[in-house]
Structure 1
Amino acid sequence: MSKSKLAIRTVIFSMIGNAALAAIKFLAGFFGNSFALIADSIESLLDVFASILVLIGLRYAARPADENHPYGHGKAEPLITFLVVGFLIISAATIAYQSIQNIQSPHPGPKNWTLLVLGAIIIWKEISFQWVLARSKKLKSSSLKAEAWHHRSDAITSVAAFFGILVAVFGGEGYEAADDYAALVAVGFILYNCYRIFRPALGEVMDEDNHVELTAEIRKIALTVHGVQETEKCYIRKAGMIYHVDLHAHVDGELTVREGHDIAHDLQDTLRRNLPELGHVLIHIEPSE
């Protein structure tokens, strides 16, 4: 199965899970008198729309290179990540606003059984986070990483809601708003996760070269090619799940143009064979001193 298809299946899994959880949280919050659960359901519902955006971005990024996009469409992936971060910020703002409104208005305390619902949700969201994050690392996908942190932020809000409801239930009268305060604490964690998702995606759009391990691997493989004496500049740009490379290689300065050309092609083929995640590989031949 191709990387793009595997990524798309992962997002569809997230969409189905988030849609089901949004319904469960809302019903449990409505009948269990817990605004923290209702706020949590709002975030899960926004996560469904965010997953749809990620799915659209992955499908577009998987398009092959064409005349107008010689390097492919991979840059669509971090752009979609920005939209996902926007959804996270909207959900954080929504939860914060409704929590403050609820704190100012007296309301009944949450029911005991909502703790059981939240416990099951927390376990499920953490499992989902670990699974999607592992996929994002395997596929080197920034949008899948954003999708994974959606699950973690959802788990965090659920943990905050759990402790808030716990205090409200066992604290009794006067502690009814504890789950609303817990929702406000969760907002801070969500905004922190927004930064963690946004920063790498911004670096990808700006062609930030921080691929230290991949650079070292490229240099190591290059020296195994016959005729390559050393490497000089090595620039890497990430576009979706593909890495484009510009590499300067030193060869014997007495070689003919054709011989240098053959070494360049041999080097290019060797790198692509050993590192399938590479896209365009541009080799610049330098005469060795």
Structure 2
Amino acid sequence: MNSNKQKAIKTAYLSIFGNALLALIKGVTGVFGNSYALIADAIESTTDVFSSLLVLFGLKYATKPPDENHPYGHGRAEPLVTFAVVGFLVISATIIAYESIQHIRTPHQVPEKYTLIVLGAVVVLKELFYRVVSKKGKETKSTSLKADAWHHRSDAITSLMAFIGISIAIYMGKGYEAADDWAALLASGIIVYNAYLIFRPALGEIMDEHVYDDLVSQIRDIAITVDGVIDTEKCHVRKSGLSYHVDLHLIVNGGITVVQGHAIAHRLKNELILQLPEISDVLIHVEPGR
């Protein structure tokens, strides 16, 4: 688990550095290149910096060990941070949509051609960031890292829309000056949709939604290999940060002593945590078999 924590935190630092650098490049290019779509892109990257900082804070707090006031740990901080990241996405989409509409209604210059080079590079870099952060999010099972990955993907989409819009404005000529603004407006809708995709699993985590069938199957398979275990009944899994808590009903021989049943339960718990290190705790209820 410590390895997952370090991996997740390093990935969050990568996101912060990447977003800050790209926000600066896009903002400067957008201002001097007469492209509001690129400026809108820079606005989103700036909000991404703050959201990535939130992700970093959430990861550090969520991986703190349990204490007297938090016996189940601090893992629920992570989906709460994800909600904040979603808020940043919605806010940035709203700002982009509002400013795009204002620019559509106001005559302005056609963007400079070199803005396309910058945007092309940004699309490639942001998609690479998405793939790296998404992979680390899956490896560490971090909800907030997955949300941060979608932030990179939404930025790539915004940049792609801007690229298309600016291309139309430049090559179609007079009458198409606002094409990049329309592209930014369309991108804002895509960002809101991505925000929903991020929000839904985080809400499920807070509500202890059951979406861990694969993990339950692994737990049951391991259980029947432990000496003294006849079978398993109920198995409930809930996620807390980067780890999982398991409630398991275990069936043992009804004729054994309480001490023997207790020993079997402990052997099973140790085996589960050994083979599935993402599990931080297992509460086992022993049921007598026939």
- Quote the offset at 1:8 in angstroms: 1.0
Partner of 2:168: 167
Partner of 1:88: 89
How far 1:95 moved relative to its partner?
0.3
Instruction: Report SS of the residue matched to 2:249.
Output: strand
Correspondence for 1:97: 98
- One-letter amino acid matched to 1:96: A
Partner of 1:69: 70
Amino acid at match of 1:286: E
Q: Distance in 1 between matches of 2:208 and 2:285?
A: 20
Q: Which residue in the other structure is 1:2 paired with?
A: 3
Using the TM superposition, give the Cα deviation of residue 165 of structure 1 relative to its aligned residue in structure 2, in angstroms.
0.3
Provide the C-alpha distance between the structure 1 equivalents of 2:272 and 2:246, rounded to a whole number of angstroms: 10
Q: Hey, what's the Cα distance between the residues in 1 that align with 2:138 and 2:37?
A: 32
Give the unaligned 5+ runs of structure 2.
Answer: none
Tell me the equivalent position of 1:190. 191
Task: Report the AA paired with residue 70 of structure 2.
Answer: H
Number of aligned residues? 289
Which residue does 1:118 correspond to in 2? 119
Gaps of 5+ in 1: none
Counterparts of 1:142 and 1:90 in 2: how far apart (Å)?
20
User: 1: CA distance between counterparts of 2:275 and 2:25?
Assistant: 47
AA at the equivalent of 1:4:
K
Mapped to 2, the partners of 1:162 and 1:81 lie a distance apart of 29
**Aligned counterpart, 2:29:** 28
Alignment partner, residue 240 of structure 1:
241
Query: How far, CA to CA, are the matches of 1:110 and 1:128 in structure 2?
Result: 27
Deviation at 1:257, TM superposition (A): 0.6
Partner of 1:13: 14
RMSD: 0.7
Q: Which residue of structure 2 aligns with residue 181 of structure 1?
A: 182
Are 1:213 and 2:230 matched, yes or no?
Answer: no
Q: How many angstroms apart in 1 are the aligned matches of 2:69 and 2:207?
A: 20
Give, in angstroms, the shift of residue 62 of structure 1.
1.3
Residue 114 (structure 1) shift: 0.7
Give the AA of the match of 1:199: R
Q: How far, CA to CA, are the matches of 2:180 and 2:57 in structure 1?
A: 35
CA distance in 2 between partners of 1:62 and 1:253 (Å) = 40
Match of 2:44 in 1: 43
Aligned partner of 1:147 in structure 2 is 148
Cα separation, 2, equivalents of 1:215 and 1:130 = 28
Matched to 2:151, the amino acid is H
Structure 2 match to 1:138? 139
Q: Which residue in the other structure is 2:267 paired with?
A: 266
- Code of the aligned partner of 1:187: S
Q: What is the alpha-carbon distance in structure 2 between the residues aligned to residue 222 and residue 192 of structure 1?
A: 41
Deviation at 1:2, TM superposition (A): 2.2
Identity %: 60
Contact 2:123 2:156 in 1 (8 A): yes
Give the counterpart letter for 2:105 in structure 1. Q
- The 3-state SS of whatever aligns with 1:284 is strand
Which secondary structure state, in structure 1, belongs to the residue aligned with residue 259 of structure 2? helix
CA distance in 2, matches of 1:266, 1:53: 39
Amino acid at match of 2:227: H
Q: Distance in 2 between matches of 1:182 and 1:53?
A: 29
SS of aligned partner of 2:255: coil
2:136 aligned partner, one-letter code:
R
Structure 2-normalised TM-score?
A: 0.99
Aligned to 1:199: 200
1:65 Cα shift? 0.3
Equivalent-residue separation in structure 1 for 2:198 and 2:235 (angstroms): 26
Q: CA–CA distance in 2 between the matches of 1:94 and 1:163?
A: 20
Separation (CA, whole Å) in 1 of partners of 2:5 and 2:174 = 53
Structure 1's consecutive aligned runs of 4 or more residues displaced over 2 angstroms after TM superposition are: none
SS where residue 107 of structure 2 aligns?
A: coil
